[in-house]
Each structure stands twice: as structure tokens, then as C-alpha cells.
Structure 1
Amino acid sequence: MAERSRRTVNDLRRGNRAAVLQRLYFDGPMSRQALGPVTGLSSGSISNVVAELAAEGLVEEAGSVGSDGGRPRTLLRVSPAGGHMIGVDLGETRVRVELFDVTLTELARAERPLTDTAYDVGVIVEHIRSAVDEVLTRSAVPPGRLLGVGIGTPGIVERAPGGAVVHGQTIGWDAVPLEALLRTACRLPDTVPYFIDNGAKTLGQAEMWFGAGRGAHSAVVVLFGSGVGACLFSEGADQGRALEWGHLTVQAGGRRCRCGAAGCLEAYAGAESVLERWREAGGHPPEGVDEETRLTALLAAACPPDGTAPDPVAHAVMTQTAEYLGAGISDLVNLFQPERVLIGGWAGLAFGSRFLDDVRRHAVAYSLTQPASRVTVDLGRLGPDAVTVGAATLPLADFFARGGRRAAPAADIAPPAWRAALEDRVLG
């Protein structure tokens, strides 16, 4: 006997709403007539769903387009005022917080610089709390309008009953209950969910949605900052998978990594280690400035913008770094055989603007011929804000998956099954 479908009327309605919202978001504006073929819904279902979404302020008219001999067709789009999201980038040089509307237009931002000792959990939580308060106050957006707070963080994120826990070995975080700490500190309404994930994943999701990864069946997005990380996106997977790529061993018994192991890729290719290698080789990184400024100085010495001869020490360090990155990318190519490899992060974009061709050359040389022939290696397109944009897509993706319904308060208890079934019958 065939197993009965467990989908309820509410499930079906939610799926229809999600299909319309997602299609309008990524491909809109579109007419009602155009929505039918691309969503697989009947014209009656489209009309009902659009009417619901418009009544809730999630969809609005966006002009009209002519039709063959008939009346002009009204175009629809997702309304920018349908909700707001906060994206947080827990970088290793600063905490960046941005407030967006549903179309991911930035409404306000706040940044908190970090010192060498500032990855104290209490300091980070306070930076996020004050920055969230700042962007909400400056934009006059009520906290209850938030669809959620997305956070990209270093380390491995574990889902736990009390909320997301972060294992950030390179920053000294051992099972930090970050979500619980933020709920207490930020005091946002219980209806506002938190979505915490690895920063390489949030960067990757932004590039896959809006940047250089859009349209790819498979891609690996690399985050190159103080350390290095990556995220794998493959066809058929709803979400990317964060990879601790920076802790792949590239030299047995090699340089000591921040994680405590020896010979990790990050110990050779992360911005922090690159600057240290420059100093060890006799270079002179500027004192009293942040890591980004020091890396800019290194790149200027290796590739002077005025066309003068490069500093040989700086140039040697950067060409070695290009080889390490290329070799590390070859491991991703051989293991996952992606269609694209994209390099992002503040250091990756700065470094890639000068040494991308070298990285490509080494990646091909160290890779197997067949997967190397199918892959392209490029820079991300979304700039240094990609992590915060990607973090904001986490609550937005959840909102769409719910069919444009807001998440229930965290403390809510699910109703009995009989009540849910009865409501389905009544509402259906």
C-alpha cells in the first residue's frame, strides 16, 4: 500500500507562496501570466497567491508591459518594504553590521575595529549589541520589523538545543554559545531569529545569489582574509557546505598555524602569516596600523603602482603566496571538481587584483588535467561587503522558505497535532 502524503493544505500553500516569492525576487519584475510556466502553478493559484502576498505588503506592482494584441500586463516585484534583515560580519580586523531591506539595499551600517586581543567573547558580543542598536536607531526601523539577524563567523558552527555554538580554534573560542549570549545582550523581540554560520559560507551564498557564482551548477568560494576558508556549493544541495580548507596540511612539519597544528595552508597563505613571512624575510611592515593597511603596503612594495621596480623581498613573498594559494585551490579542484572557484574576502580581492594570473597558473599546474580543464578561477564580484550581504541572505532564505511568513517566537510551543490538522481543514 502506498504511503499517504504527509503534506497538509498549509504546506501546499506555503510552497506556492515560496515559489512565487523566489521567482519574483530572482527574476522579476514579472507578470502573472509569466509566473505560471516558471512556477508550475495554475493561473488561478497564481492569482490567489499574488492577492495574498500583495495584501500582506510583500508584493507590489512595478509598471506594465505590452502583450500581443491584448491589454498591457501588470508587472509584479517583491516589495522592498516587506521586511528588514541585519547582516553581521565577525571579521578578524573589525565587526561590521549592516541593515538591509528585502531587496538587500543597505539602509545603515556600523563598524567596530578590533585590536589584536579583541576576540574576547564579551567584547565581540558588546560590539554586535551596540552596532545593532546603532543601525536600528539611525534607520528608524522598529526591531519587530526584522526578519532575522544573520551572522558570519570564523570557525565551525554547531547547532545545539540552546542555539548556535561556535568552535573557533584560531580565535580562541571553545564551544562559545554565541546565539544565547546575543539573545540576552541584544534584547530583540523573541520573533526575531538568529542565523549563525561560517563566514566563508555567507560570503559564498552572496556570490551564488548575486555575484560571480550565479548560474553555476557547482562552485567553491574561497574566503581569503587574516585566515583562509572555503565553502562548497553543488547542484541539488539547498545550502553550501563550509570547508576548513585553511587547515589542510600543505607541508608536513611546516610552519606553526594559529590552530596549533604545523604546516596548514593558513600558516602560509593567510594575510596574518603572509605579513609575518615578509617580516622574517627582511621586510618592514608598517607599525601601528591595522592588518589591511599592512597588506596594502606589502602589495604596493611587490607591485609598485608607479611602475618602478618591485621590492625583491616583497615580490618573492607574494609570488610564493600565489603558489601556495594555487596549490591549495588545486586540492579543491581535484577533490570536488567544481565548475568555478571564486576568490573573495578583503585580502583575496586585494591580492587577486595583482596576482590572479599566477594563482590560476599554479592551480592548473597542481591539478589533474581533466578537472582543471573544466574549472575557471576568478575573483568574487561583490567586494568586501559580501560576508554581511551573505549573512543577511540567511534570514531572507528562511523567510522565503516559509512562504513569506515570519518565524514563530523561539519560546513558542507547537500546538497538538489534532489542532494543526483541524486548522488545515478549516483554512483550506
Structure 2
Amino acid sequence: MPERHRRTVRDLRRGNRARLLRSLYFEGPLSRQELAAHTALSSASISNVTADLLADGLLEEAGSVGSDGGRPRTLLRVAPDAGSLIGVDVGETRIRVELFDVSMTELARCEHPLKDDGHNVAHVVRLIADGLRAVRSAGVPHGPLVGIGVGVPGIVEEDPARGGAVVHGQTVGWDAVPLESLLREAARLDERTTLFVSNGAKTLGQAEMWFGAGRGARDAVIALIGSGVGASVITDGSAYGGAAHGAGEWGHTTMQLRGRRCRCGAHGCLEAYVGAEAVLERWREAGGGAAPGADEETALAALLASGAPAAADVLAETAEYLGAGIADLVNLFNPERIVLAGWAGLLLGPRLLPAVREATAAYALRFPAARATIELGQLGADAVTVGAATLPLSRFLDTGGVTDRAGPTASPGATARRAGPVAVRTGERGPGRLAPKG
């Protein structure tokens, strides 16, 4: 007869710490009395757990509020200096690495453009390792490292025999790349350093669900429109397929039989019609185009600024294709919210959103379409990096500030006050302090 699983005192303690940390992170600051209502823990448990978390440096006092005729109630919040997080975006044109505190305030960043070597694996691994070293040695005071998250193009498979995460990135020429083991070796990360690798569209989706346009939704699709196209599907509050695997490969659903050739090698994919690379190619075929040598972002901005009839036709066609693709998502998943994000989505969105909504309504079933709203993402170009950093952050919260590899995460005494975000290399400022509500 199999032995029944029994929860130990340690399990209960960790579970209570996790419930309290999550409540304070997403709803705080809160008083101890409010925590009891949010967590359903007893007053004695709240008192014991908050004392432990305060002693570990994971919580701090955040002022007080008056009570009805009694003493003021002290408010608590998760201490920003309780730890630090690193998010990495293996993008289409650059590698971006950012260091955050646990409140998701950017402390330092490093960016490397992807030029002639493109997505050559050794080149990408070297740039990520350089970025990790740069932000960790930027001279900005920060708490102990909670972990590193990396957003990549393609499908991510866990393969312990090959050292962890293996990436299948067909559009960038990655065939079963053992990225986790390569990164650990190149950056000299020991086994105690928590490292997550996930699909970039999924990390973006988690960022928008936690901090951006997806907040409050239980069923949503976060669409990443860049040079290529991806999506993160959220059903009943959870990412479809699990956080460590590939997102729904929406960009490689077939839009037209024997249609345009996609970067993946197939024909007729949605990406071959609405990805920035494909949109610009159709504009060139129509007789337009940006100045020679312009990067994709500059070229797409030029298309939007053009008053030529050919440019207007390409944009109208793009809106219809995108609306038809979203209609497929509406019919399949019945989401309450669709969020258009990614650098190209945020460039195209303000111009195309009305036409995209109209096309979606025309191609989708009426009942689920009436339930869904289509909105623009709120986190800008940093969304993948922010989302990558939430991977170790989520584990930090779920374990009550304790990791299996590194034990309790605690601030090293009273960590020195930060002098403000530092740009290690060129790049715009990150999202700043985010308000993690809902």
C-alpha cells in the first residue's frame, strides 16, 4: 500500500510564508489585520510568519494607518532590497540584459546589438554572459541574486541529460541548442544559481498579466508582434502549456494555403503576413520601402508615416490578416482580453487597432467575439526582459523567499540605498518601479 504524502511542519511554514509574501507583493502594503483577511491565516500565524520574514529582511514597514478608536496599524510590504533579479531578452535585433530589485525597479542594464553574426549560438551565448557580468558588476547596491530568467525565440524543452533547457528555434536556425548548459559554462554560473529559460512570448505574456494590460483577466492572449509573431495563451489564470515550454506558436498557424514563404520554411504562415519583416517585404514589392540600410524599426516607422497609396494598402491588408488571426484565437480559446504587444505591435497598434477590431469581428464567431476586448500592451520594449525576470521572482514568492538550492534569501544587513538605475551600456531606461496590483 503506497505511503500517504504527509505535510511536515517545514512544508506548512513555507506554505504560510508563500501565501503571506504573495499577498503583500500583489496587494500590499497591508496591515497584519488585513493580511489575516487576505490569507485566511490565524492572527497567531500572521504574527509568527511576519516576524520571521522581517527578521530575514524580506519585509519592511511602510508607514501606518489609523484604526477605529485604536492604535495605528503598521503597514508591511515586501522589501525591494530583499533580492535582485536578472531578465534577459534574446531579441530579433539585440540582446538586452537588465538587473532589477524585487519590486521590479530597474537597477542596471546592458544591450548588445545583433549584427553580422546574428543568432549564431556561440555569439549569442557570449553576449548574454558579457551582459550578466556587466550588470552584476555595475556598482549598484542590490540584494542577493534570486535568479536569472531568459526569454528566447522558439520552443523550450527540459532535458536533464543535456544540462537543462534546450531550445528549438527554427526561425533563427537553432536546432536543439542546449542553452542552459552553454550559459552556465560561459557565465560561470554554479548549480546554486537559479536559471530559467522560456519562450520570449511567454515571458512577455507573464509581464503583461502581472503588471500591464492583462491585469485582472483570467482568460487572455498576449500577442507578440515583432519581426516574427508569437503568443502567450492564458486560460483560467495559467499559461497554456506551462511556463517552461513553448508558447502557442500562433505565428506559424496557416493563414493561406501555398501562400507566402515564412521564415520557418513553411508557406502561408500568419507570420509571413503580419510580422514586421514580412510587412516591410510586401511594401517593397508594392514599390515602396524605407531608405537603404534602415533597420526594421526605422523602416516600419517610415511605412506608417508614408502617405503613398501603396503604404495604405499594405497597412490595410496587414490589419485584415491580423484580425483574421486574432479571430482564430477568439474561436479557439474564448479569451476575455487580447493584448497586442512587441515592438512592431506597439508601433502598428495605434494606427491599425480600429481596423483590426473590425476584421476580428468579421471573421470570429459572434458570441465569443462579443466577449473579447483587444488592447495594446503597456510595458513597452522591456516587456520580455521584465517577464523573464518574473520567472525567478515567481519561484521566490512561491517558496516563501526560500529556494531549494540557495536556502533563505535575505538582505545583507541594511543594504545601502540605491543611487538610481544605471545604464551599463547604451539603452533607454527600463520600466521603473512597477505597481504589482491584481
Q: TM-score, normalised by structure 2?
A: 0.89
Query: What is the alpha-carbon distance in structure 1 between the residues aligned to residue 292 and residue 56 of structure 2?
Result: 55
- Aligned residue number for residue 159 of structure 1: 158
- Aligned residue number for residue 398 of structure 2: 401
* TM-aligned CA deviation for residue 203 of structure 1: 0.5
Q: Residues 165 and 176 of structure 1 are in contact (CA less than 8 Å); yes or no, is this contact kept in structure 2? A: yes
Equivalence map 1:11-410=2 (5 Å): 11-115=11-115, 117-140=117-140, 145-161=144-160, 162-235=163-236, 237=238, 242-301=247-306, 310-408=307-405
* Compared CA separation, residues 267 and 236, structure 1 to 2 (3 A): closer
Count the aligned residue pairs.
401
Q: Which amino acid aligns with 2:138?
A: R
* TM-aligned CA deviation for residue 402 of structure 1: 1.1
Relative to structure 2, which stretch is displaced further, 342-351 or 288-297? 288-297
Q: Residues 108 and 140 of structure 2 are in contact (CA less than 8 Å); yes or no, is this contact kept in structure 1? A: no
* TM-aligned CA deviation for residue 287 of structure 1: 1.6
Query: What is the alpha-carbon distance in structure 1 between the residues aligned to residue 35 and residue 183 of structure 2?
Result: 40
Query: What is the alpha-carbon distance in structure 2 between the residues aligned to residue 220 and residue 328 of structure 1?
Result: 12
* TM-aligned CA deviation for residue 190 of structure 1: 3.0
* TM-aligned CA deviation for residue 4 of structure 1: 4.0
* TM-aligned CA deviation for residue 3 of structure 1: 7.8
Q: TM-score, normalised by structure 1?
A: 0.91
Residues 125-151 of structure 1: CA deviation (Å, up to 9, x unaligned): 111111111111114458x92111101
* TM-aligned CA deviation for residue 392 of structure 1: 0.3
SS in structure 2 opposite 1:159? strand
* TM-aligned CA deviation for residue 115 of structure 1: 2.2
Q: Residues 107 and 139 of structure 1 are in contact (CA less than 8 Å); yes or no, is this contact kept in structure 2? A: no
Q: Which amino acid aligns with 1:59?
A: L
Relative to structure 2, which stretch is displaced further, 18-27 or 231-240? 231-240
* TM-aligned CA deviation for residue 391 of structure 1: 0.5
Q: Which amino acid aligns with 2:199?
A: N
Q: Residues 271 and 278 of structure 2 are in contact (CA less than 8 Å); yes or no, is this contact kept in structure 1? A: yes
Q: Residues 260 and 268 of structure 2 are in contact (CA less than 8 Å); yes or no, is this contact kept in structure 1? A: yes
* TM-aligned CA deviation for residue 407 of structure 1: 3.8
* TM-aligned CA deviation for residue 382 of structure 1: 1.0
* TM-aligned CA deviation for residue 237 of structure 1: 3.0
- Aligned residue number for residue 421 of structure 2: none
* TM-aligned CA deviation for residue 2 of structure 1: 12
* Compared CA separation, residues 2 and 174, structure 1 to 2 (3 A): closer
* TM-aligned CA deviation for residue 51 of structure 1: 0.6
Q: Residues 100 and 107 of structure 2 are in contact (CA less than 8 Å); yes or no, is this contact kept in structure 1? A: yes
* TM-aligned CA deviation for residue 253 of structure 1: 0.3
Q: Residues 280 and 289 of structure 2 are in contact (CA less than 8 Å); yes or no, is this contact kept in structure 1? A: no
SS in structure 2 opposite 1:124? helix
Residues 135-194 of structure 1: CA deviation (Å, up to 9, x unaligned): 11114458x921111011100000110210000000000000000000001113432111
Q: CA RMSD in A?
A: 1.7
SS in structure 2 opposite 1:14? helix
More helix by share: 1
Q: Which amino acid aligns with 1:186?
A: A
Residues 255-303 of structure 1: CA deviation (Å, up to 9, x unaligned): 11111101000011100111111111111222223211111111111xx
* TM-aligned CA deviation for residue 384 of structure 1: 1.1
SS in structure 1 opposite 2:63? strand
* Compared CA separation, residues 116 and 254, structure 1 to 2 (3 A): farther
Q: Which amino acid aligns with 1:90?
A: V
Q: Which amino acid aligns with 2:55?
A: A
* Compared CA separation, residues 188 and 139, structure 1 to 2 (3 A): farther
* Compared CA separation, residues 236 and 298, structure 1 to 2 (3 A): closer
Query: What is the alpha-carbon distance in structure 2 between the residues aligned to residue 23 and residue 204 of structure 1?
Result: 21
SS in structure 2 opposite 1:85? strand
Q: Identity over the aligned pairs, expressed in percent?
A: 63
Query: What is the alpha-carbon distance in structure 1 between the residues aligned to residue 140 and residue 186 of structure 2?
Result: 20
Residues 58-84 of structure 1: CA deviation (Å, up to 9, x unaligned): 000000000000000000000000000
SS in structure 1 opposite 2:164? coil
- Aligned residue number for residue 425 of structure 1: none
Considering Cα pairs closer than 8 Å and 6+ residues apart, tell me whether 1 or 2 has the greater RCO.
2
Query: What is the alpha-carbon distance in structure 2 between the residues aligned to residue 197 and residue 86 of structure 1?
Result: 14
Q: Which amino acid aligns with 1:387?
A: V
Q: Residues 84 and 102 of structure 1 are in contact (CA less than 8 Å); yes or no, is this contact kept in structure 2? A: yes
Query: What is the alpha-carbon distance in structure 2 between the residues aligned to residue 392 and residue 354 of structure 1?
Result: 31
Residues 371-424 of structure 1: CA deviation (Å, up to 9, x unaligned): 0000000001111111111000000001111111134069xxxxxxxxxxxxxx
